[in-house]
Amino acid sequence: MDALPTLWFVVIAVLWTGYLLLEGFDLGVGMHMLVSARGDRERRLMLNTIGPVWDGNEVWLLTAGGATFAAFPMWYASLFSGLYIPLVIVLVALIFRAVAIEYRGKHHSLRWGRAWDVALGLGSFVAAFGVGALLAITTTGLPIDANGDRVGGPFAWFSWQAVVGGLAVVGFCLVHAAAFLGLKTEGEVSTRMRRFFRRAAIPALLPIGVWVLVVQLADGTAVSWSLVVLAAAGAAFGVVASRRGRDGLGFLGMAIFLVAGVASIFSAVYPVVLPSSLDPASSLTIENAASGGYTLGVMTTVAAIGVPLVLVYQGWTYWVFRRRLSVHHIPDARPIVAAVRR
Amino acid sequence: MDPLDIARWQFGITTVYHFLMVPLTLGLGPVVAVLQTRWVRTGDVRWLRLTKFWGKLYLINFIMGVATGIVQEFQFGMAWSEYSRFVGDVFGAPLAMEALLAFFFESTFLGLWIFGWNRLPKRIHLATLWIAVAGSIVSAYFIIVANSWMQHPVGVELIDGRPVMTDVWAVLTNNTALAAYSHALCGAAGVAGGFLIGIAWYHLWRRRHDGIDTVDARGRVVVGEARDVPGRDKIDHKVWLTSLRIGAAVAIVGFGGVAITGDIQGKLMFEQQPMKMAAAEAACENGTSFSVLTIGDLGAKDCDELTNLIEIPGLLSFLAHGDFDTQITGVNSLISEYQQKYGTNLPENEIYGERSGEAIEYVPLMPVTYWGFRIMIGFGGLAAFAAVVALWLTRKGTVPASKWIMRLAVLGILAPFGANAAGWVFTEMGRQPFVVAPNPDGVDGVFMFTAAAVSPGVSAGELLFSVITLTTLYAVLLVVEVSILVRFVRAGVPAAMPELVHAEGDHGDHDDPDDPDDPDRPAGSGRPAKDDGVLSFAY
């Protein structure tokens, strides 16, 4: 088997991991602003913990999409056209969320703020659910024919696994963001989010456990099963660390959980990238979905330069904005007044 | 309804909309970076105010470009899966490069810049903006490389009926891409120039209208101050006059560049897509004349019903070849050439759906190409002329008191946007009926009819759902964006620098003049950053 398609399978798994690890807490913070924050100042506090980094985090999604197009065009074409309606909804959610982050503070009235909070919170929820459903479908199956086209109408993608995947990513984002906010804030918000992390971790991570087990029971290998164990250990470690007041280690536990969890899923389904639920012969694999060797070679060079650079400068960003924030750090909202002599 | 038509509307609406935000981002970014560089170099507070004000508008616009850019990347797979399968080996690579080598830089460093005031050392803070701006400019390059491959496919071989990339350098240095990229960058400068002129004009006019600035007997400005209007001091006048002059300079250079690069691109297109250029001219028969005004039914199937009312002999040859007498092949001759090379009817193949076997219409929609081309050039020329007039009218330090000229200046912001949009509509629709236009000197068989590109599994209903949803959303967000821009424009510099209004005993007092020689000072204020202090910027 050629090494390059395998390498690119790994790269795409890494890109999705990076996306969920980083944007996971952005999306969770958006949801917590709607459900866990009390008052405008707390909401702004939460928003400003992700303010400098959220846009860079979202690029992981675009890169995952672009890399899939470049390295596995058949996978990209079949998955994205097959999930047409859910992806439109995800796009709408992502647009609302991005615009809400930037525009929320551009005007100060109760209605304006509330409207954007809803756009941000719901947008984050829907985007998380949709991404989860997409990843669940690409690891459990979509009714595609020999050409890779979806059969059975606009909603043929629907399956209970897709719902589990959606809930899995939503649950993960909520817990992950709680660990993140516990680490990045001080005062009442921090205390409340730590408590959320410890109490909600087990129920909220349940759907992701179901998804992992579904994939493992179907295609699990010794390697993927050991990653499952590592993921569970990571989550347990995170909760215990948080209980002892170690927020950094608590967040690290969640990161281990995510990295090992995603790795366990991708390693189990390898080398299939999009199983056909109609006929296994129509499934897309790293062999029949990949670009040619030359393209993959070029992209390998690009990724070998680009990915380490991204890790370095995004890491530096987190270092620059490392301090904890409290509501006292949030400046007063100021009205925007026309410079006109009345 | 026909899924192909809906999918094309979907793509066109998203692309034109996305490209309202993109040229402003591309053009305004370098301007803001230069403004901040001036501030860091000189320590003159005027430059800080300029940086903060234009930086704020830059960001309000930037986010809309980001938000709509995601749709751009996803819609190839969603609505054009056959296209994605056909071209994926070569077309996906520049998109992935854009994300990895450009967009990551742009987004990450812009976040650092937004929140880095008073937190990063001044020079490093400036560097974050330059890196973000460079990211956006490189990003545009990769996207245009991808688009240019659809206009002029290079660097591939045909293997099993699909183009397979064999030479990435040929793709990256495609002459179509280099011409289109420089053309797009110059066009973006024109957009930024018009934006600066219109808004600066409004403020200079407003200062006169409010009786702050007056003119003496010789028409020279007498700059005043208003204590009752926040931010309306003497520096404020300098801020707007500088903005206006920078804007005019950027616009004139930009439009000059547009003309030069457009000429290069036009000459390439006469070779690479002769039908597109013939249709742009409504040139039915072979000839040398450029049409200034053509009447008749441009949409008619029969090209012969057109009459050129006014034409300039030799000009078309000059545009295409640089001389006055080379015959340019007209639409009617090209049709038979294309039919010979690429067939008279679509193949009987299921990927064409109901269209299999249909006759191929090789002439693009002539009203669109003819008028798209003229709107692009007309609006561009108008805006360039207006920039020169603006410089002349403000030579004595302020604008005329006329409200109508002010309104024209503000309205003039739209002209370069219109020129940009018309240019894209022209070049994309002029390529029809191909989604990947054949390269006359390239590998045989590397082309694709748009009719074959749409996703076979996606229904008309799904496509209609997305067109309606996204178009509605775009319309709402355009209203929101413009209303926020208007609010921030009307508020002037204090909207971006609240400390100008809330100077004393308030958070964020940054009135101290800075010491420009000390590179380790935090950006934005004369004070060192306090780790327990209030954020100098927060959402």
Residue pair A128/A27 in contact (Cβ under 8 Å)? The answer is yes
Q: Is the CB of B232 less than 8 angstroms away from the CB of A87?
A: no
Q: What pLDDT score does B523 carry?
A: 59
The span from the CA of A100 to the CA of B537, in Å, is 17
| pLDDT, tens digit (0-9, with 9 covering 90-100), for A38-57 | 999 999 999 999 999 999 99
Counting residues of chain B whose pLDDT is more than 70, the rounded percentage is 92
B positions 47-106 inside 8 Å of A (CB): 59-60, 63-64, 66-71, 73-74, 76-79, 81-82, 84-85, 87-93, 95-101, 103-105
> What's the ipTM?
0.95
Q: What pLDDT score does B276 carry?
A: 92
| pLDDT, tens digit (0-9, with 9 covering 90-100), for A185-195 | 999 999 999 99
More confident residue, B349 or B503: B349
Tell me the helices (H) and strands (E) count for chain B, helix number first: 16, 8
Q: Is the peptide bond before B433 cis (omega within 30 degrees of 0)?
A: yes
Burial class (CB in 10 A: 0-12, 13-18, 19+), B474: buried
Q: What pLDDT score does B528 carry?
A: 44
More confident residue, B309 or B449: B449
**Residue A258, domain member (yes or no):** yes
Q: What pLDDT score does A186 carry?
A: 93
Q: What pLDDT score does B527 carry?
A: 46
**Residue A91, domain member (yes or no):** yes
| pLDDT, tens digit (0-9, with 9 covering 90-100), for A324-336 | 999 999 988 888 8
The amino acid present at B78, given as its one-letter code, is M
CB atoms within 10 A of CB B275: 24
| pLDDT, tens digit (0-9, with 9 covering 90-100), for B518-537 | 445 555 544 444 455 788 88
Tokens representing residue B105 in the block: 């830089």
**Residue A225, domain member (yes or no):** yes
DSSP-based three-state secondary structure for B507: coil
Nearest chain A Cα to B537, which residue? A331
Parallel, antiparallel or unpaired: strands B221-222 and B214-215? antiparallel
Banded model confidence at residue B137, pLDDT cuts 50, 70, 90? very high
Selected for mutation to probe chain A from B17, B78, B83, B485 (highest A CB count within 10 Å) is B78
**Residue A324, domain member (yes or no):** no
Tell me the helices (H) and strands (E) count for chain A, helix number first: 11, 2
Distances (CA, A) of B162 to B159, B309, B437, B446: 5, 46, 14, 8
Which domain covers residue A25, as residue numbers?
A: 3-319
| pLDDT, tens digit (0-9, with 9 covering 90-100), for B154-189 | 999 999 889 999 999 999 999 999 999 999 999 999
User: Residues B314, B316, B320, B321: what is their CA dihedral angle, to the nearest 10 degrees?
Assistant: 0
Banded model confidence at residue B98, pLDDT cuts 50, 70, 90? very high
**Residue A305, domain member (yes or no):** yes
Q: Could you give the maximum distance between any two Cα atoms of chain A, in Å?
A: 77
Banded model confidence at residue B509, pLDDT cuts 50, 70, 90? very low
| pLDDT, tens digit (0-9, with 9 covering 90-100), for A199-242 | 999 999 999 999 999 999 998 899 999 999 999 999 999 999 99
Q: What pLDDT score does A291 carry?
A: 94
A337 touches chain B (CB under 8 A): yes
Residues of B in contact with A153 (CB under 8 A): 459
The span from the CA of B332 to the CA of B291, in Å, is 16
Q: What pLDDT score does B539 carry?
A: 87
* CA of B63 vs chain A CAs: smallest distance (Å): 6
pTM metric for this prediction: 0.93
B235 touches chain A (CB under 8 A): no
The span from the CA of A18 to the CA of A30, in Å, is 18
* CA of B376 vs chain A CAs: smallest distance (Å): 29
Residue B134 has, within 13 A of its CA and on its CB side, a CA count of 9
Residue B465 has, within 13 A of its CA and on its CB side, a CA count of 15
Is 80 exceeded by the pLDDT of residue B510? no
Q: Is the CB of B488 less than 8 angstroms away from the CB of A106?
A: yes
Selected for mutation to probe chain A from B76, B104, B203, B477 (highest A CB count within 10 Å) is B104
Q: What pLDDT score does B508 carry?
A: 39
Task: Specify the CATH number for the domain of residue A236.
Answer: 1.20.1630
Segment A11-34 mean pLDDT: 96
B positions 295-354 inside 8 Å of A (CB): none
Q: Is the CB of B534 less than 8 angstroms away from the CB of A305?
A: no
Alpha helices, DSSP H, located in A156-292: 160-184, 188-219, 222-243, 247-269
| pLDDT, tens digit (0-9, with 9 covering 90-100), for B311-330 | 888 888 888 888 888 888 88
| pLDDT, tens digit (0-9, with 9 covering 90-100), for B102-124 | 999 999 999 999 999 999 999 99
* CA of A44 vs chain B CAs: smallest distance (Å): 7
Q: What pLDDT score does A206 carry?
A: 94
CB-based contacts of A81, cutoff 8 Å, min separation 6: A149, A150, B77, B78, B79, B81, B455, B457, B458
Residues of A in contact with B508 (CB under 8 A): 331
What's the number of domains chain A is made of? Answer: 1
- CA-atom Rg of chain A in angstroms: 21
**Residue A86, domain member (yes or no):** yes
Is 80 exceeded by the pLDDT of residue A314? yes
**Residue A335, domain member (yes or no):** no
**Residue A331, domain member (yes or no):** no
Nearest to B144 by CA among B193, B91, B192: B91
Q: How far is CA B328 from the centre of its chain?
A: 30
Selected for mutation to probe chain B from A294, A311, A326 (highest B CB count within 10 Å) is A294
